[in-house]
Amino acid sequence: MQSLSSKIYKNEFVSTFQGDESGDSTPRQTPGVFYSKVLPTPVKKVSLIGWSEELAQELELEKPSEQKDIDILGGNFVAETMAPYAACYAGHQFGHWAGQLGDGRAITLAELETTAGKTWEMQLKGAGLTPYSRRADGRAVLRSSVREYLMSEAMHYLRVPTTRALSLVTTGDMVVRDMLYNGNPQEEPGAVVMRIAPSFLRFGNFEILAARKELENLRKLSDWTINRYYPHIQGEGEAKIIAWFSEVLDRTATMIVEWLRVGFVHGVMNTDNMSILGLTIDYGPYSFLDNYDPKFTPNTTDLPGRRYAFGKQSSIAYWNLGCLAGALAPLFSGTEKLAEVLDTFESNFYGKYFTMMGNKLGLDEVKEKDITFFTNLEKFLTSFQPDMTIFYQLLIDLPQELKDEETVITHFQESFYQELDGNGKEKLFALMKTYSERLKENTSAPEQSKEQMRQHNPRFILRNYLLHQAIEELEKGENKLFLELQEALKAPYSRNADKFFAKRPGWANKKPGSSMLSCSS
């Protein structure tokens, strides 16, 4: 175990690709470069309030005790072997080409290699101005930083592909934000999260090069990405890139299926927020589902179109992969091969989705008739909108013998936000009768089926209202709920945190930050 300041860091991305070496943070277009070197902007005082000890163990880092090490986490000190930079990328935002975007408030400090040979990029979010900040200030507030810090780790423990978060610090500075973009800006405490990932490369890193017709740079980045992060892919030329694109598609489909399994809604699936490694990246106006509503989007900016609603996430992933294919197209003599791979998304996604649903329902195999049941269950959940997490938890303990309708209704009553009408009761009973009979066809024992369900249906999720309460407490100088949530998220499939096993309270339905959020942070 070493301290942050004593580590020897690597800077492979910086040493491989051309960048703007000026260090100038003035917002501008940066054609011909992959990044711009820029130092974090110092803050008043860096104070450590969140530390992911399990991740630190994997990174072979000791918890900072000296101010010099704490300062690294907030950008007030840069170790000698670090070469900080902001990456240049573009993207489609809400379906429209946005041109150059880039790391507007994120600065990658360096790459850390462990003794096991694994390399991690270390990135500060909220560390100050970069050439890609445009009209923003490059800062982040405590509100959004708490959300990213906790959710990054929560998703890891839920077994969802994700970037990680090592630390959360406050800066001692105030940052002005208009939380709901309604003309009411207010000062909020500033904060910085240190994000960790094998790579923060996005679809947009490739889109910018294609848009600028920098084909040699596009080829160079594609080859480097494959060799570094997909080393098992051999060959050369078009065949190698096709194999890589196919795997990016596969990883993306896996990620979306995992989102649906736990009820996660990203909220802003722009192509610049899509990881080339199939990781959940950029935690902004996200949410877990409370009541089951496929049309739910937590992002006020996404209204009224609801482009990024829960039920649309797979189709948006497909659309975004199409944008990536378009960016890679200049490397091909024609687009037929890319189109063929893109056309596999639906079958790839649904194959994974049906397997996932079988696991959630405790089935030892997915039969043709089960797909019909999945559809009917989805229709019921959509129509009557029980709490997704609680409904599936109650399903685990469904009595083996269903004597009458009232027994079933009473069993699931806790999960509904509104009392079921006669039609709802009838449909639920019929569904559960079908399900109960189907379980009897399993070759595995009932307890094995229940254990399978326990491992695929989370019991604890980071609900927005809980995060909002924790943030309000932190802003008052209290961290009790924050620490409780940080501990609870480490065992989401257990009963360790059953004090949080409850539906969203009525007061949270319309309260900003507890239900709907904006991109403001």
What is the per-residue DSSP string for 320-362? HHHHHHHHHGGGSS-SHHHHHHHTTHHHHHHHHHHHHHHHHTT
The angle at the Cα of 501, spanning 498 to 507, to the nearest 5 degrees, equals 135
Contact 417, 291 (CB under 8 A): yes
Rounded to an integer, the average pLDDT of 452-467 is 98
Q: What amino acid occupies position 252?
A: T
Please list, in sequence order, all residues whose beta carbon lies within 8 angstroms of the beta carbon of residue 196, skipping any fewer than 6 positions away. 55, 59, 120, 121, 122, 123, 163, 164, 165, 166
The predicted pLDDT at position 180 comes to 66
How far does Cα 28 stand from its chain's mean position? 29
The predicted pLDDT at position 178 comes to 77
pLDDT in tens, 152-207: 999 999 999 999 999 999 999 999 987 766 677 889 999 999 999 999 999 999 99
Rounded to an integer, the average pLDDT of 371-388 is 98
Token pair in block for residue 294: 């496929």
- E-assigned strands of 126-185? 140-141, 164-177
Q: How confident is the model at residue 511 (pLDDT cuts 50, 70, 90)?
A: confident
φ/ψ of 60, rounded to 5, equals 60, 40
DSSP 386: B
Q: Active-site residue 272, yes or no?
A: yes
Gap between the Cα atoms of 364 and 358, Å rounded: 7
How large is the angle between the packed helices 215-229 and 313-328, nearest 10 degrees? 120
Contact 19, 201 (CB under 8 A): no
Q: How confident is the model at residue 376 (pLDDT cuts 50, 70, 90)?
A: very high
Q: How confident is the model at residue 519 (pLDDT cuts 50, 70, 90)?
A: low
Q: What amino acid occupies position 275?
A: S
The predicted pLDDT at position 400 comes to 84
Gap between the Cα atoms of 497 and 491, Å rounded: 8
Model confidence at 518: pLDDT above 70: no
Please list, in sequence order, all residues whose beta carbon lies within 8 angstroms of the beta carbon of residue 518, skipping any fewer than 6 positions away. 179, 180, 181, 285, 299, 300, 301
For 288, the enclosing helix (H) or strand (E) is strand 287-288
Token pair in block for residue 216: 């040699």
The predicted pLDDT at position 464 comes to 96
For 483, the enclosing helix (H) or strand (E) is helix 480-488
The predicted pLDDT at position 517 comes to 73
In the chain, the largest separation of any two C-alpha atoms, in whole Å, equals 75
Q: Residue 43, class by beta-carbon neighbours within 10 Å (0-12 exposed, 13-18 middle, 19+ buried)?
A: buried
pLDDT in tens, 256-277: 999 999 999 999 999 999 999 9
φ/ψ of 372, rounded to 5, equals -65, -40
pLDDT in tens, 63-89: 999 999 999 999 999 999 999 999 999
3-class secondary structure, 383: helix
Contact 466, 514 (CB under 8 A): no
Q: Residue 209, class by beta-carbon neighbours within 10 Å (0-12 exposed, 13-18 middle, 19+ buried)?
A: buried
Tell whether pTM > 0.75: yes
Gap between the Cα atoms of 485 and 151, Å rounded: 10
Model confidence at 495: pLDDT above 60: yes
The predicted pLDDT at position 13 comes to 98
End-to-end CA distance of the chain: 34
Per the residue annotation, which of 69, 103, 272, 370 is the catalytic one? Answer: 272
pLDDT in tens, 326-354: 999 999 999 999 999 999 999 999 999 99
pLDDT in tens, 428-442: 999 999 999 999 999
Q: How confident is the model at residue 22 (pLDDT cuts 50, 70, 90)?
A: very high
Q: Which among 151, 368, 351 has a CA at the least distance from the CA of 262?
A: 151
Model confidence at 419: pLDDT above 60: yes
Please list, in sequence order, all residues whose beta carbon lies within 8 angstroms of the beta carbon of residue 239, skipping any fewer than 6 positions away. none
Gap between the Cα atoms of 317 and 326, Å rounded: 14
Contact 11, 141 (CB under 8 A): no
User: Across-strand partners of 35?
Assistant: 19, 87
What proportion of the chain, given as a percentage, has pLDDT over 90? 92
Model confidence at 521: pLDDT above 60: no
pLDDT in tens, 290-334: 999 999 999 999 888 999 999 999 999 999 999 999 999 999 999
Q: How confident is the model at residue 509 (pLDDT cuts 50, 70, 90)?
A: confident
3-class secondary structure, 426: helix
